[in-house]
């Protein structure tokens, strides 16, 4: 897909998400915490849409500088369909709303991170990577709130079955190859590395977390040549799983607390 078409789809998805969060903000207008959460997400999606709009202008000005991008149109179209479903969930099913929002954001994180790594134009890659960081923050906030309201993120029929948060630690692959973490969950980790690993290859990774070191047998779920790999943990001890869970929980709690502080500061300025 050419860069301009990809950006138009990104802009459409971001705008649709912003509209969805705006509807949720109004639906929970009498709930300060929830309306504040959805208001912040709405504002950030609007900012993402503006970023895509600005990038479109750059592409139109210098189209020769932008090569085709590896972009799965059907996957992001399915996100728009999922947004329509969220809009039908009644207010009294808040936990389900939060879980479904989490699933939408989760699917987009992987799409955007992989796209950024495959994209050859530096400006386009920077935009998509910025969006991917925003989505990871959204994931953390939504997962924290879903958990606080009784939502279950551990038994979902999706590849990513556990809440995922940013993780930038140094990771060792097969005891001798070094990579940088991007994000992590109890089910897997995404790494930046220029080394090539075929899909389904088994590797062992180790990394520091929560003042300890986790070692896990893993399988390469997908690989982006000369850029990065997504791993699924296949053998993870209970102690190591607990360490990752503690890290994820602490990140979610911190994100929720930061959102509450922002909301409180906003009220103080009014």
Angle between helices 94-118 and 3-27 (to 10 degrees): 160
Beta-ladder partners of 103: none
- Per-residue confidence at 249, pLDDT binned at 50, 70, 90? confident
CB atoms within 10 A of CB 211: 6
Distance of CA 157 to the CA centre of its chain: 17
pLDDT band per the 50, 70, 90 thresholds, residue 138: confident
34 pLDDT tier (thresholds 50, 70, 90): very high
Give the best-scoring range by mean pLDDT among 187-196, 200-209, 245-254.
200-209
- Average pLDDT score over the chain: 82
**In contact, 173 and 191? CB cutoff 8 Å:** yes
Please list, in sequence order, all residues whose beta carbon lies within 8 angstroms of the beta carbon of residue 95, skipping any fewer than 6 positions away: 146, 149, 150, 151, 152
pLDDT at residue 127, as a whole number: 77
Tell me what pLDDT residue 217 has: 96
H or E segment and range at residue 65: none
Q: What are the domain boundaries of the chain?
A: 3-148, 165-253
Give the separation between CA 262 and CA 270, rounded to whole angstroms.
13
Site of tokens 């969930």: 89
Asked whether the beta carbons of 36 and 60 are under 8 A apart, the reply is no
Q: Residue 66 gets which letter from DSSP?
A: -
The torsion region of residue 190 among left (phi > 0), alpha (psi -120 to 50) and beta comes to: beta
Q: Rounded CA gap, 227 and 211, in Å?
A: 28
Give the rounded percent of residues in the chain with a pLDDT score beyond 70.
84
**Whether the predicted pLDDT of 263 surpasses 70:** no
Looking at the predicted structure, is the pLDDT value of residue 96 above 90? Answer: no
Question: How much is the average pLDDT of 204-212?
Answer: 96
Higher-pLDDT residue of 120, 40: 40
Among 110-124, 178-192, 228-242, whose mean pLDDT is lowest? 110-124
Collapse the DSSP code of 119 into the 3-class scheme (helix H, G, I; strand E, B; otherwise coil) and give the result. coil
Residue 158 reports pLDDT greater than 50: no
What pTM does this model have? 0.67
Lowest mean pLDDT among 93-102, 117-126, 191-200: 117-126
What is the model's pLDDT at position 117? 62
What is the assigned CATH class of domain 165-253? mainly beta
**Alpha carbon distance 209, 247 (integer Å):** 7
Q: Is the pLDDT of residue 227 over 80?
A: no
Q: Of the candidates 76, 73, 58, which has an alpha carbon nearest to the alpha carbon of residue 124? A: 58
Is there a common fold for 3-148 and 165-253? no
User: Which pLDDT value is given to residue 157?
Assistant: 43
Using the structure block, give the residue that is written with the tokens 């990140």: 251
Pick the CATH number of 3-148 from 1.10.3470, 1.25.40, 1.20.1260, 3.40.50: 1.20.1260
Q: Which residue has the higher pLDDT, 109 or 118?
A: 109
Q: Residue 149 above 60 pLDDT?
A: yes
Q: In the predicted model, is pLDDT for residue 155 greater than 60?
A: no
Confidence category of residue 62, pLDDT binned at 50, 70, 90: confident
pLDDT band, residue 205 (cuts 50/70/90) = very high
Per mean pLDDT, which of 212-221, 226-235, 246-255 is the most reliable? 212-221
CB atoms within 10 A of CB 35: 17
Q: Which among 218, 225, 228, 163 is positioned nearest to 190, based on CA atoms?
A: 228
């Amino acid at each position: 897909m050419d860069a301009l078409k990809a950006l138009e789809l990104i802009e459409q998805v971001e705008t649709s998400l912003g509209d969805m969060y705006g509807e949720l903000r109004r639906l929970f207008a009498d709930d300060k915490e929830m309306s504040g959460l959805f208001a912040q997400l709405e504002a950030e999606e609007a900012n993402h849409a503006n970023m895509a709009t600005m990038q479109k202008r750059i592409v139109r000005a210098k189209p020769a500088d932008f090569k085709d991008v590896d972009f799965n149109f059907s996957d992001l179209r399915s996100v728009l369909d999922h947004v329509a479903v969220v809009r039908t969930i009644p207010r009294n099913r808040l936990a389900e709303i939060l879980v479904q929002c989490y699933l939408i954001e989760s699917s987009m994180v992987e799409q955007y991170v992989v796209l950024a790594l495959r994209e050859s134009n530096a400006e386009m890659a920077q935009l998509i990577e910025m969006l991917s960081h925003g989505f990871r923050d959204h994931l953390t906030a939504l997962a924290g709130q879903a958990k606080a309201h009784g939502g279950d993120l551990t038994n979902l029929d999706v590849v990513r079955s556990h809440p995922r948060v940013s993780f930038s630690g140094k990771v060792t692959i097969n005891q001798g190859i070094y990579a940088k973490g991007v994000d992590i969950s109890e089910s897997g980790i995404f790494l930046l590395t220029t080394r090539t690993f075929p899909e389904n290859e088994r590797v062992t990774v180790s990394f520091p977390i929560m003042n300890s070191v986790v070692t896990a047998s893993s399988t390469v779920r997908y690989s982006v040549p000369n850029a990065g790999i997504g791993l699924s943990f296949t053998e993870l001890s209970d102690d190591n799983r607990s360490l990752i869970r503690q890290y994820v929980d602490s990140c979610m709690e911190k994100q929720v607390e930061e959102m509450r502080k922002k909301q409180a500061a906003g009220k103080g300025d009014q």
